[in-house]
């Protein structure tokens, strides 16, 4: 199966995304010229152009991951994923190419673009190996030799326009099928009606079975998508919780480190304060000692000065007494002489 999922790089015409688009839709007629990614196709961005018509069937192509997601191991059909087409005229979905061909023939045979779409589906439903191209579609449309268009030209009258296809050289004229005679029995008609009813019932049963299988695949794909989404949510939640725990641990470590640094800083401040107080006490004690020594020296100097003053007064008294005695001695002879 690995060879059925080659890595192909394409460009989406809607969102211009490039690379492996995973799930992409490619026009069955225009080929790789018209490609849309799965999201753009789901959003209805498939826009017709001069070459790409709105009724061109779009084929879904998947890579391995998307095929496993949508089909959960289902086998490939002719090397491709099972296809589901939508009727471009009534938007009914869920057809295979064969069912879409029958549906268009029965329900929209008179539509203006029905012949072109039926020509495309005719080529798509041919044996494996038939390729749908613009030229093959044109040839298929040319096979319808005559077209009669009727329109009312005036009141009460009609005009017809007969358009003949261009002659195709070297083309074998198809033989007309042998038509049965007019004498058809009632039993044959009933058998044909019964066979047609059986085919219709068989087609409806096949269609219902295909719808049931597709619904089961959608449910399985939804379940897988939900599982993947839940797993992604769980993993994301675990990653966020782990990051939050790591953030909280880092925050607590930073706060603890700051507290430790603040504690050390406070201890250093307290130690510095105690040292300063001790220095202040020592200086105050030294000043008091100096004051005591200065007071003691002052008292001692005052005492010495008083002693010196006392000594000076004593000496002065002695001098005074000596002077008085000397004066008394000098005055006594003079008195004796005056009396004689």
What pLDDT digit, counting tens, does each position of 285-294 carry? 999 999 999 9
Q: ∠250-252-255 over CA atoms, to 5°?
A: 110
DSSP sequence for 60-107: EEE-HHHHHHHHTTPPPBTTB----B--TTT----B-HHHHHHHHHHH
Residue 163 bridge partners (DSSP): 147
Q: Rounded to a whole number, what is the distance in angstroms from the first to the last CA of the chain?
A: 183
Nearest one of 35, 30, 24 to 132, comparing CA atoms: 30
> What is the pLDDT, as a whole number, of residue 335?
54
pLDDT at 331 over 80: no
Model pLDDT, residue 262: 93
State what percent of residues in the chain have pLDDT above 90: 40
Alpha carbon 252 to chain centroid distance? 31
Q: Which residues in 140-174 are b (16+ Cβ under 10 Å) and which e?
A: beeeeeeeeeeeeeeeeeeeeeeeeeeeeeeeeee
What is d(CA 297, CA 302) in angstroms, rounded to the nearest whole number? 9
Mean predicted confidence (pLDDT) in 67-96: 81
Lowest mean pLDDT among 163-177, 184-198, 269-283: 163-177
Whether 141 has a pLDDT exceeding 80, the answer reads no
pLDDT at residue number 178: 45
Least reliable range by pLDDT among 80-94, 105-119, 177-191: 177-191
Alpha helices, DSSP H, located in the chain: 38-42, 64-71, 97-107, 114-124, 134-142, 186-339
What would the mean pLDDT of 203-220 be, rounded to a whole number?
Answer: 90
Average pLDDT over residues 211-215: 90
Residues 241, 233: Cα–Cα separation, whole Å: 12
The average confidence (pLDDT) of the chain is 81
Q: Is 2 helix (H, G, I), strand (E, B) or coil?
A: helix
Cα separation, 200 vs 339, whole angstroms: 202
Place of tokens 């406070």: 266
How far from 150 is each of 145, 166, 180, CA to CA, in Å? 17, 20, 31
Q: Cβ(60)–Cβ(23) under 8 Å?
A: yes
| pLDDT mean over 72-82 | 71
pLDDT at 139 > cutoff 80:
no
C-beta separation of 94 from 121 below 8 A? no
**DSSP label at residue 132:** -
What is the average per-residue pLDDT within 74-97?
A: 83
Distance CA 193, CA 195 (A): 5
pLDDT at 120 over 70: yes
Rounded to 5 degrees, φ, ψ at 32 are -70, -5
Question: What are the tokens at 3?
Answer: 């060879």
**Can you read off the two tokens belonging to residue 155?**
């009141």
pLDDT at 264: 94
Relative to beta strand 23-27, strand 31-37 is antiparallel
Q: With a threshold of 0.85, does the pTM exceed it? A: no
């Amino acid at each position: 199966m690995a060879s059925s999922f080659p890595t192909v790089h394409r460009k989406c015409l809607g969102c211009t995304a490039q690379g492996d688009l995973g799930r992409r839709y490619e026009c069955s007629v225009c080929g790789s010229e018209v490609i849309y990614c799965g999201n753009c196709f789901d959003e209805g961005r498939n826009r017709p152009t001069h070459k790409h018509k709105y009724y061109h069937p779009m084929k879904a192509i998947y890579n391995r991951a998307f095929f496993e997601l949508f089909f959960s191991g289902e086998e490939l059909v002719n090397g491709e994923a099972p296809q589901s087409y939508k009727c471009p005229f009534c938007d009914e979905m869920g057809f295979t190419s064969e069912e879409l061909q029958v549906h268009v023939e029965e329900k929209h045979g008179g539509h203006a673009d029905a012949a072109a779409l039926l020509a495309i589906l005719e080529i798509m439903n041919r044996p494996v190996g038939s390729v749908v191209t613009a030229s093959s579609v044109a040839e298929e449309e040319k096979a319808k030799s005559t077209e009669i268009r009727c329109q009312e030209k005036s009141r009460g009258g009609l005009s017809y326009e007969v358009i003949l296809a261009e002659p195709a050289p070297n083309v074998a004229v198809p033989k007309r099928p042998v038509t049965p005679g007019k004498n058809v029995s009632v039993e044959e008609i009933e058998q044909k009606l019964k066979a047609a009813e059986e085919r219709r019932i068989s087609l409806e049963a096949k269609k219902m079975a295909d719808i049931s299988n597709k619904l089961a695949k959608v449910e399985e794909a939804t379940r897988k998508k939900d599982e993947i989404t839940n797993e992604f949510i769980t993993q994301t939640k675990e990653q966020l919780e782990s990051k939050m725990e790591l953030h909280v641990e880092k925050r607590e470590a930073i706060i603890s480190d700051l507290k430790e640094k603040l504690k050390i800083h406070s201890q250093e401040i307290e130690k510095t304060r105690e040292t300063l107080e001790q220095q202040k006490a020592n200086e105050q004690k030294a000043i008091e000692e100096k004051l005591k020594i200065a007071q003691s020296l002052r008292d001692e100097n005052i005492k010495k000065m008083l002693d010196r003053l006392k000594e000076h007064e004593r000496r002065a008294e002695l001098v005074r007494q000596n002077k008085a005695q000397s004066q008394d001695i000098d005055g006594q002879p003079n008195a004796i002489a005056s009396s004689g």
